[in-house]
Amino acid sequence: MDKMIRRSVIGFVLILAVLAVIYWFPQWLFCAVVALLVGLAQFEFFRMVENRKIFVYKYFGTIVGSLVPVVIFLGNGFQDIKHLEPILIMAASIFVFTLQFVRKDNAKDHLVSMSVTLFSLFYISWFFSFFVKLRLLDNGANLVAFLVIVTKGADVGAYLGGSRFGRNELMSRISPNKTKEGTLTGILLSVLLALTVGRVLTGFSFLHALIIGIVLAAIGQVGDLAESLIKRDCGVKDSGSYLYTIGGVFDLIDSLLFTAPVFYFYMKTF
């Protein structure tokens, strides 16, 4: 019970901080916060990978990863450099190969090292940078708030439902603490939140709110399990210790990594 209370208090403080960033910060400062979160999550990821004795250029990867949301923001404001985002990713990919050429050790893990580094740039940096793309849309602040509320609502529902009703493990080999009951509770809460705040924040019809609520809830759970799979493979419990009872920044944003691009393309398409 004490752990749940502490976690609830920290969660409430985080909610206030997120709302302040979304609604009070100008777009450039919002982008800076996204870049900071990307950098921290990226660095946590590289430290976990090092537990597997895989060589990675963690400082290079962290810096490049942090630059992705920045160039997305700059590309939106300056049409002359609107293609800076793919240029950065292309340049980083080439440079990762170049770095392998100058390694002095007689390594036999070049392919693994390059793959992990480039994977992190897409999985963490590029996916989370869709928050910047969303924020730059019309009604962007409300869209970001809707995405965070619905996605993290599934996390909260899964935690509370699993703690109260959890009996059957969901995928014990990946995350032994997750239950089928908790997952179902999380999805139901996420859909309820989408229907409740959807019209207020986004003007969505009932059908659109229902569809996107189900999609975000399901995709968010996949994102959460994806990070659990990585942590299990690297032999760690949490990605970091910045956030008491929650873990690291990577633990905090894991479910959002998949829902951000999905929601962005949903908005651009429908």
Q: Which amino acid is at 204?
A: F
User: Is the separation of the CB atoms in 158 and 166 below 8 Å?
Assistant: no
Domain of residue 199, residue span: 2-269
pTM of the full structure? 0.91
What does the pLDDT read at residue 141? 96
What is the total residue count of the chain? 270
What does the pLDDT read at residue 110? 83
- The phi and psi torsions of 122 (rounded to 5 degrees) equal -80, -50
Following DSSP, what letter does each residue of the chain receive, concatenated?
-HHHHHHHHHHHHHHHHHHHHHHTS-HHHHHHHHHHHHHHHHHHHHHHHHTTT----HHHHHHHHHHHHHHHHHHHH-GGGTTHHHHHHHHHHHHHHHHHHT--S--S-HHHHHHHHHHHIIIIIIHHTHHHHHHTSTTHHHHHHHHHHHHHHHHHHHHHHHHHH--SEEETTTEEEEEHHHHHHHHHHHHHHHHHHHHHHT---HHHHHHHHHHHHHHHHHHHHHHHHHHHHHT-S-S-SSBTTTB-HHHHHHHHHHHHHHHHHHHHH-
What does the pLDDT read at residue 65? 94
Give me the sign of the Cα torsion angle 185, 263, 124, 140.
negative
What does the pLDDT read at residue 100? 83
Give me the sign of the Cα torsion angle 219, 225, 231, 232.
negative
Give me the sign of the Cα torsion angle 100, 235, 65, 214.
positive
Burial group, residue 183, by CB count within 10 angstroms (0-12, 13-18, 19+): buried
- Mark the ranges of the chain whose per-residue pLDDT is less than 70: 1-9, 11-12, 77-82, 105-106, 166, 241-246
Domains in the chain, number: 1
The 10s digit of each residue's pLDDT in 190-230 is 999 999 998 899 989 999 999 999 999 999 999 999 998 99
User: Is the separation of the CB atoms in 243 and 18 below 8 Å?
Assistant: no
Cα–Cα distances in angstroms (integers) from residue 69 to residues 11, 61, 87, 243, in the given order: 25, 14, 13, 23
Beta bridge partners of 171: 175
What does the pLDDT read at residue 5? 64
